[in-house]
Amino acid sequence: MQAEPRTAESRDDERERAPFPHKHLLGIEGLTRRHVETILDTAEAMRGISDRRIKKVQTLRGRMVVNAFFENSTRTRISFEVAEKRLSADSVNIQVSGSAMAKGETLLDTLRNIEAMRPDMVVLRHWCSGAPHFLAHHLQSNVINAGDGNHEHPTQALLDAITIRRAKGRLDGLDVAICGDIAHSRVARSNAHLLRLFGSRVRVSGPGTMMPRGAAEALGVRVCRSLAEAVEGVDVVMMLRIQKERMGADMYPSDREYARQFGLTREVLRHAKRDAIVMHPGPMNRGLEIAPDVADGDRSVILDQVENGVAIRMAVLYLLSGASEVPAE
């Protein structure tokens, strides 16, 4: 007997029953704890592929992924590309400097033209908060937010979560300090939403000029006056980059003053638990928000974060694609 053709309605029904019932990944806000656990567990299953001699499976063969990066990126862009190659998807990369947007074409027109070439997924990084949500509303493809303005960076929070879970054995009931330029940080926002799902307690610290108004209520975090207070007794210290590209006037007196008050040094790290881990999403300003010996020290899991990023992005691509089996070992 011939199978019934899949309709838009039957695809919606399938999605509702799937372990990850979303068409897009636009943010952590709106996901449940179970959804996050599904992504992390799938990423664990994907990790082994990167250890094989031939680091490739056929899972997304014939699928096309457009990586549209309208803001600088090293880790996220390369990590998505590696993840797509490991799953055998066809990747197409566009950047604003090499696209018709530089001639005045709108983001929607650019992406609609690309969609006419029938991609299955679009990975978007954009300086404008909400840009991926706007596209998701207008495009047929799955849309993955690779960082939008100072709003969200969901795959960063997911790779941070798997890194914490691997180091601490859990995500529940931890104390986590997120320190630095909170106001401009999509990483802080996505992490705060995710950690709250697991009942972990988040403290934030940074210069008053880099603390969003109403941070405590909006993010469900405790605002600390000093870095030492934020770090006191925590399991995880997450340092953030000063995002000069998102600032208007100077928001702190000098680099030296910032490093003195808000830079993570070995002395400040002594306030944390003895087995606390140190994280940073990158790129780092060494000697500013983090001392080089801390960034490279034995408590640092910064390169683990990068490694885990590939597995997380493979998991997200796989789950959104609707592919039916996690590739076997």
What backbone torsions phi and psi does residue 296 show, to the nearest 5 degrees? -100, 5
Stretch that binds ligand CP, among 25-33, 69-77, 173-181, 242-250 (CB under 6 A): 69-77
CA distance 50 to 217: 40
Q: Does 22 bind ligand CP (CB under 6 A)?
A: no
- Whichever of 38 and 156 has its CB closer to ligand CP, that residue is 156
Q: Which of 27, 154, 206, 281 binds ligand CP (CB under 6 A)?
A: 281
Least separation in angstroms between residue 127's CB and ligand CP is 12
- Interatomic CA distance for residues 299 and 157, integer angstroms: 19
281-311 burial, b at 16+ Cβ within 10 Å, e below that, comes to: bbebbeebbbbeebbeeebbbbebbbebbbb
Decide: is 147 part of the binding site for ligand CP (CB under 6 A).
yes
DSSP state at residue 24: -
> Which of 282, 304, 321, 322 lies at the binding interface for ligand CP (CB under 6 A)?
282
Pick from 73, 88, 91, 321 the residue near ligand CP by CB under 6 A.
73
CA distances from 259 to 66, 227, 242, 252, 262 (A): 39, 11, 11, 10, 5
Q: Which of 75, 222, 273, 286 is labelled catalytic?
A: 75
Tell me, yes or no, if 266 is annotated catalytic: no
Smallest separation (angstroms) from ligand CP to the CB of 146: 7
| CA dihedral sign, ordered 111, 87, 23, 5 | positive
| Nearer to ligand CP (CB atom), residue 130 or residue 282 | 282
Give least dist CB 320 to ligand CP, A.
19
Q: Is 76 a catalytic residue?
A: yes
Element containing residue 316 per DSSP (H, E): helix 302-321
Say whether residue 199 binds ligand CP (CB under 6 A).
Answer: no
- CB contact at 8 A, 110 and 121: no
Site size with ligand CP, rule: CB under 6 A = 9
- Going by the DSSP 8-state scheme, the letter that residue 328 receives in this structure is P
- State the catalytic residue, choosing from 63, 77, 153, 186: 153
Tell me whether residue 58 or residue 72 sits nearer to ligand CP (CB atom): 72
Name the site residues for ligand CP (rule: CB under 6 A): 73-76, 147, 156, 281-283
Question: Among all residues, which ones are annotated catalytic?
Answer: 75-76, 103, 125, 153
